[in-house]
Chain A
C-alpha cells in the first residue's frame, strides 16, 4: 500500500469512528433538549388548562366539549379513591392521529384535578418527533457533513501530495534507474522542502562517493593492465631475441622456456583484465547481425584439434541459422570461452555436446560427478576445485559479462551423472 493510501485509510477509519460516536452523542443531547422543551411547554399548557377549567368551565359537558375541539386536552372522570401516586406524570404513547389516520408518537402530562368537587384525570398532550426520524435526520446531516469534509480533505491532500512530494518521487525514480557503472552521477531535482533537501544532499554525497570509488578502482585496473602491456612487450621481444643468440646452450634454453610460458600467461591475464574492464565500462560495442550458428561451426572447426587431442567426442545439434544483433568479436570470445571451458574441464574419453536453437545455446560436457558451486563459478579469480594449473580463471566471468552486455542470460546446470551444462538464453 502506498504511503498516501496508508494514511488515507487510517484517516478514514478514524473519521468513521468519530462520525458514529458523534451521531450518537448528537442524538442523545438533542433528544434530551427536545424533551425538556416539550415537557416545559406541556406543563405550561396544563397550568393554563387548569386555570381555564377553574374560571371558565361550568359543566362536565364543557369538559367533553373541550376534548372534542382540542384533541390534545382530555378530562377523564375518576372513580372515588382512584388517586395516582404522583401528581405529575409524563409519558410517551402512541395515538391515532385523526387527521392523518396514522398512529403517531405523543408526549403527555397527566394530573388529577377536581372539578365541581369530583376528581378527574387531566391529560394534556402534544405530538412529538419520532425518535427514529430524529436519529435518521441527524445521521443524514452528519453523513453529508462528513462526506463534504472528507472529500475536501482528500482533494487537498491529493493536490498537496502531488506538489510537495514530487521531489521525493523524482528522487525515487532516479534511484530506481541508477546503476553504479553508469557514467554520470544521477541528478536529483532541487526542492524547497528541508527534509527532501537533506535527503537529496545525503544521497548525492553517498552516490558521488561510491561512483568515485568505483571509477577509481576501474581506472586502476585499466591503467595497471595498460601499463603492464609495454613491459610485457619488451619482455617478450627480448626473449624472442635471446633465443636467436648464436651459441645458445641447451641449459640456457631450459631457463628461457619457463620464462616464455610465464610471459604468455601474463599476457593472457592482462588481455582478459582489459576486456573485463571494458565490458564493465559498457563501452560502446558496435553491433551487427551475426549468425551464431556459423560462428559456432567456425569455432568448433578451429578447436577440432584440441578436442581430438583431449580424446573427446564432439556432438552437435545446431539450428541452420540463428541471426543475432551482437558485437562479432564479443560473440567469438563468448563461444570460444564456453567451448574451451567444456574441453578443459572434461575427462579423457568424454563428450562435448553443443546444441543451438533460436532461443538457447547449450554447451555441455562430461566431467566430475558432482555439481560445481554455481555462485563461485562466475567470480573473478576464484579458485574452483577443477581449475587446472596455469588457468587464469577469468574465462567464465568474461563469458558472463559478455552475456550481460549483449542482453543474454548465462546459467550453469548440473545433471547426473557428471554432465555440466552452460546455457545462454537469447532474448
Chain B
C-alpha cells in the first residue's frame, strides 16, 4: 500500500512515517504545497494524509485539484484547524475522513486501514490472523469458524488492535477510539480495562491464543503469534 503524507512539521512527519512504515505501508512525504501538488499529480496513491495548513497554500485547494483530476486516492485530512466548516468543506470536496490534530498514531493507522479496506475490497474483506477471521463489512468475527459474539464496542476495539499489530496502543488512544470526545471527560480508564478484559475472555473461550497483552499499565499490544 502506497501512502503520501503531506505535513510541514518535520518532527511530526518523521514520527508518523516511522509508525506507518512499521505497519507495512510504503510512505512518501511532501512538506510544501508545491511538493504535494507535484507528487499527487504524478503518482497514484492508495491514501493521502493531508494537512490543511501548508507553506505555499491551503490543503483544501489541493483537495479541489485532486477532485478535478479524478485521482483515485483516498484522503484523510489531519488539521490543527478544528473549525467545523473546514471539516465539512473537506468532506464535501471528497475527503474520506477527518482527523483533528493532535491525534493518536494507532488511531491514524486504524483510519488508514479502514480507508484502504473500503476502497480496495468493496464488501468482501476478510482479515485473518492465525485462527482469527474478521469480516469487517459484516462486522462479524470468528475463531476457527466458531463465531464470536462481540458487542459493537468490542468489535471496534478488535479492529483498532488488528490495525496496530505488534504495537502498544495507549489506553487514551483506545478510549478515544471507542467513545470519541466523551472519553476526554472521564479520568479513569476503567471502561477500557473492562472492554479489553471482555474481548480477551471471548477470544480465549473461542480457543484463540492469548493475543492481547497489557504493557506496564500503559496500554495493550496485539501479538499475531504470541509466545507461549
Q: Do A and B bind each other?
A: yes
Listed in ascending order, the chain A residues whose CB lies under 8 Å from chain B are 226, 229-230, 232-241, 243-244, 248, 250, 253-254, 256-257, 260-261, 263-264, 267-268, 271, 274-275, 278, 283-286, 302-303, 305-306, 309, 327, 329-330, 333, 336, 340, 344, 388-390, 395
B216 touches A309 (CB 8 A): no
A264 touches B172 (CB 8 A): yes
- Nearest B residue to A243 via CB reads B168
User: Given that A240-B105, A241-B15 are known contacts, is A229 also in contact with B80, CB under 8 Å in the complex?
Assistant: yes
A260 touches B218 (CB 8 A): yes
Partner of A256, one of B9, B12, B186, B218: B218
Listed in ascending order, the chain B residues whose CB lies under 8 Å from chain A are 9, 11-12, 15-16, 18-19, 22, 80-85, 88, 100-106, 167-168, 170-173, 179, 181-182, 184-188, 190-191, 194, 215-219
User: Given that A230-B9, A264-B172 are known contacts, is A284 also in contact with B218, CB under 8 Å in the complex?
Assistant: no
Distance (whole angstroms) from the CB of A229 to the closest CB of chain B: 3
Q: For the complex, what is the distance from the CA of A264 to the CA of B172, rounded to whole Å? A: 7
Q: For the complex, what is the distance from the CA of A260 to the CA of B174, rounded to whole Å? A: 13
Q: For the complex, what is the distance from the CA of A244 to the CA of B216, rounded to whole Å? A: 12
Distance (whole angstroms) from the CB of B161 to the closest CB of chain A: 14
Q: For the complex, what is the distance from the CA of A243 to the CA of B104, rounded to whole Å? A: 12
In the assembled complex, 12 residue pairs joining A and B whose CB atoms fall closer than 8 Å, in A order, are A230-B102, A233-B80, A234-B15, A237-B19, A237-B102, A237-B104, A238-B11, A257-B217, A263-B172, A268-B185, A306-B182, A306-B186
B83 touches A278 (CB 8 A): yes
Distance (whole angstroms) from the CB of B130 to the closest CB of chain A: 22
- Nearest B residue to A235 via CB reads B102
B15 touches A238 (CB 8 A): yes
A236 touches B84 (CB 8 A): no
B191 touches A244 (CB 8 A): no
A248 touches B15 (CB 8 A): no
Q: For the complex, what is the distance from the CA of A138 to the CA of B221, rounded to whole Å? A: 112
- Nearest B residue to A225 via CB reads B82
A390 touches B84 (CB 8 A): no
User: Given that A230-B80, A234-B11, A253-B217 are known contacts, is A264 also in contact with B184, CB under 8 Å in the complex?
Assistant: yes
B85 touches A237 (CB 8 A): no
Q: For the complex, what is the distance from the CA of A274 to the CA of B181, rounded to whole Å? A: 14
B185 touches A340 (CB 8 A): yes
